[in-house]
Structure 1
Amino acid sequence: MMSRIRNLNDVMVGVLLIALSIFALILARPLNPGTVDAMGPGFFPRLLAAIEMVLGIAIVAQGLLTEGEPFEAWYPRQILFVLGSIAFFALTIDRFGAVIAVAGTVLVSCLARRQTRFIEAVLVAAGMAVFVVLVFRVGLGLPMRVWPWGHIY
């Protein structure tokens, strides 16, 4: 008997998106959605969750209908370092400023791949930190701490 799943990678990603959208809908449930004319705080989260669910269903359908690559193994190292980089950013952005938070986030996420070269990671981290400061602080004028010793402008 032939399996109906032709592309397990797409099916797994689609199921993950559907699960995340259901979780978002549960979290947004207590918020008043309002109407299209007078949107409440729950309108946009529900809209995004619905769009994500539709995309998840479409990706699952694609995985059932089209051939794909063999299922790729998931490695804990990659998942842990990427999630760790997000946690690093969340814990450092207010206290240490944008430069250290962004550079550290890039460096921690680069640890997810064993083949990453240290010099390249440092250059990307520095470039991203400069880019973030130029876009958000200089270009958009957002009040944010750039360095740990600086004030929030």
Structure 2
Amino acid sequence: MNDHIRQRLPDLVGAALAIALGSYAWITSADYAAGTLRDMGPGFFPRLAAGGLILLGMLLALATLKSPPSRFGGDRPELSSVLLIGAALISFALLIERNGLFPAIFVAVLLSTFASDNRNISRSVLLAALTAGACVAVFILGLNLPMKVFAL
């Protein structure tokens, strides 16, 4: 195998997986009518997402071949970071139904910000509040999803 390809193999495998997953989704959604932009059918969004995934996989492959090789598997994450990300996911799952969208997102983002080496409490609280507020604006106000913002 060419040394140029071997040094970039992890990124190329990721690109190939993205292309393969997008191709699978495209083929699987071929049985559904796509419709038009004005009158979308059940196959419109799956094909749009699959095409985007294929395109991103191709762009990743091209960027990988033109860039210097990346280091793969050199640094391992700290155990505390892995546990904090896991705790963030579990807290979201436990809080979303009982407490509502805003508290669930707020706690999950707050916990996940402490997985970084660059910890700052005030910045973490601000990021968590802005992210939770943006999610409320998009999902509840914008898309009118039937979710509780706060459970009282």
- Cα 1:28–1:123 change in 2 (3 A) is same
The alignment partner of 2:130 has SS state of: helix
Counterpart selection for 1:129 from 128, 132, 138: 132
TM-score normalised per structure 2? 0.65
Deviation of 1:117 after TM superposition, in Å, equals: 2.5
Long gaps (5+) in structure 2: none
Deviation of 1:27 after TM superposition, in Å, equals: 5.9
Task: Determine what percentage of the aligned residue pairs are the same residue.
Answer: 31
Counterpart selection for 1:120 from 123, 134, 145: 123
In 1, are the aligned partners of 2:105 and 2:128 still within 8 Å (CA)? yes
Higher relative contact order (CA 8 A, sep 6+): 1
Superposition pairs of residues 1-153 of structure 1, within 5 angstroms: 3-5=3-5, 7=8, 10-22=11-23, 24-25=25-26, 28=29, 32-36=32-36, 39-64=40-65, 66-68=66-68, 70-73=70-73, 75=76, 82=85, 85-86=88-89, 88-133=91-136, 135-136=137-138, 140=142, 142=144, 143-149=146-152
In 2, are the aligned partners of 1:10 and 1:62 still within 8 Å (CA)? no
TM-score normalised per structure 1? 0.65
RMSD: 3.7
The number of residue pairs the alignment matches comes to 146
Amino acid at match of 2:46: P
